[in-house]
Chain A
């Protein structure tokens, strides 16, 4: 099956700093990538949808200036958490899809962010 990687898998940063998380589709071209946030034993909460070469579409309640998303190519999307605070600590997981229609999403392994 298709593989999606995320880097880093874990990151600890100090309050006020920024952190960048990369999501790559390794063996296919991703028309669309999605960013989710997941709290322990909770569901996946969609943060934003990103299409290659265009601005990301953010879900209601998600601050676009805080969570910067760049989908630079058909295989790479990045999420930058700017001026991170302890409440931003969470599990961030991306998924990628070859099509912008109902289709399988391939999930990355996730990134555990801890802000101290």
Chain B
């Protein structure tokens, strides 16, 4: 089952914060976050494992609530380079096979 991402799109001014959510209807082994810019390959941001700690990548952090079967990506003090589409990938079996959400398009303006 494809995880549900929200919101579908976000528009920010440089320096503003945003939260992107990823919800699953069944138990997760891990959640992976990627960012894809137009015409480019997705780039890895971080993995959150069951029972693991909150992760961080520069000014981007993420949490994983196993009970609620959801993960959230926190972008603080956004930069222009944060623009792109953010995908969460859910791993239900622990074999790194990912089912990606529909994506959240983020646009950061000066």
Give A contacts to B, CB under 8 Å: 4, 32, 34, 42-46, 49, 93, 95, 97, 99-110
Decide: A102 near B30, CB < 8 A? Known: A43-B100, A43-B101, A46-B99.
yes
B interface list, Cβ under 8 A from A: 2, 29-30, 32, 34, 40-44, 47, 49, 87, 89, 91, 94-103
Looking across the interface, which residue of chain A has its beta carbon closest to that of B44? A104
In the complex, the answer to whether B102 meets A105 with C-beta atoms within 8 Å is no
User: How far is the CB of B14 from the nearest CB of chain A, in Å?
Assistant: 24
A97 to B87, CA, bound (A): 18
Tell me, in angstroms, the Cα distance from A109 to B43 when the chains sit together.
10
- Which one, B2, B30, B32, contacts A43 given CB within 8 A? B2
When A44-B87, A102-B91, A102-B94 are in contact, do A110 and B41 touch as well, CB less than 8 Å? yes
A101 in contact with B94 (CB, 8 Å)? yes
Instruction: State which of A45, A103, A108 has its C-beta within 8 Å of the C-beta of B96.
Output: A103
Could you tell me if B87 and A43 are in contact, using CB atoms closer than 8 angstroms? yes
Contact B41 A107 (CB under 8 A): yes
Q: Of A44, A49, A102, which is within 8 A of B49 by CB? A: A102
